[in-house]
Structure 1
Amino acid sequence: MEKKPCVASLTVKNSYVLPPDTNSYGTLFGGKLMAHIDEVAAIAATRHARKTVVTASTDSVDFLYPVKEGDTIYLEAIVTWTHQTSMEVFVKAVTEHLISGERKVCATAFITMVALDENKKPTTVPGVYPESEEEKMLFAGAERRAEIRKERRKNSWKMANAFGTAFPWNEKTRL
């Protein structure tokens, strides 16, 4: 499989922030922003792999600035690193006040997507190579981020197995 440049997966999305998308403070719901991030990451990963993808992991999403009703939210996503069947996708979200033109990076995230074959089983993906300085910076830290994700996932499995499906701290709430 031939490697592809990071920029070949570049995906851009713009959306207005409308009243149903906002909380009681008039700012974009965090979950709505996370949905935008997941969607643009999935498109970038699909563009890279040319296969169906699913989300395997979302690294922390830090909300840096509020996104206000009436503003736009602009997202960019690129595949920054690949393993055998997985792809790390970097997403940058920018809020823009269209009248003043003021723009701020309001969130960044790393999403891990896994490519699936026609039987819904993980399948190999092409490698990726960075070209710009920013891509090289993201690529350089990707292996370490993957190690951290692997450890975090191990801990998540431990927690899931320890707690199960019931609420052990309150017998009355067991389902």
Structure 2
Amino acid sequence: MKKQTGFTLVELIIVIVILGILAVTAAPKFLDLQGDANASTIQGVAGAIDGATSIVYGKAVIAGLQKTASAASNEIDDGNGNTITLNYGYPTATATGLPVALDINLDSTSPYNGADFNFVAISGTPNSAYIFANGSVTPDGSNDTEICAVKYTEASESGGVYSAADTEVLTAGC
């Protein structure tokens, strides 16, 4: 008669301990997927801004508005009956500029309910605006190191030298 063999209690405990150690070290890698997803979404919005501002600038050049500061007459039609306010050929960092050019679901009034993204304009020289997701820290112009947003800075002119609009992806708070 042959003797039955199997795993001893010690061997089973060692395997369970090893699996526990692997789970503790690997789990955090999989649990932080929401932050990565938020950062990727913000990068996608930045790409949309870059594309939209390029198209708007092209239309502004055709209309001869690329060297004109923001004014009531410095607008172009978006093709859907909406007007986009321009500053040196690029959309302004106001509710009548960038959000109209993007044509995405934005909310610009606190408490930011119902929209996919939120929009905050910050006055300055030059003006800037932030687009951020619901539930993120609201940007105020001084907390760029702790937010999850895209910062859009208006085009500007200084001494006859024109600077294009700029987008900056801020993912520290994602």
TM-score scaled by length of structure 2: 0.31
TM-score scaled by length of structure 1: 0.30
Higher RCO (CA 8 Å, separation ≥ 6 residues): 1
Name the larger-Rg structure: 2
- More strand per residue: 1
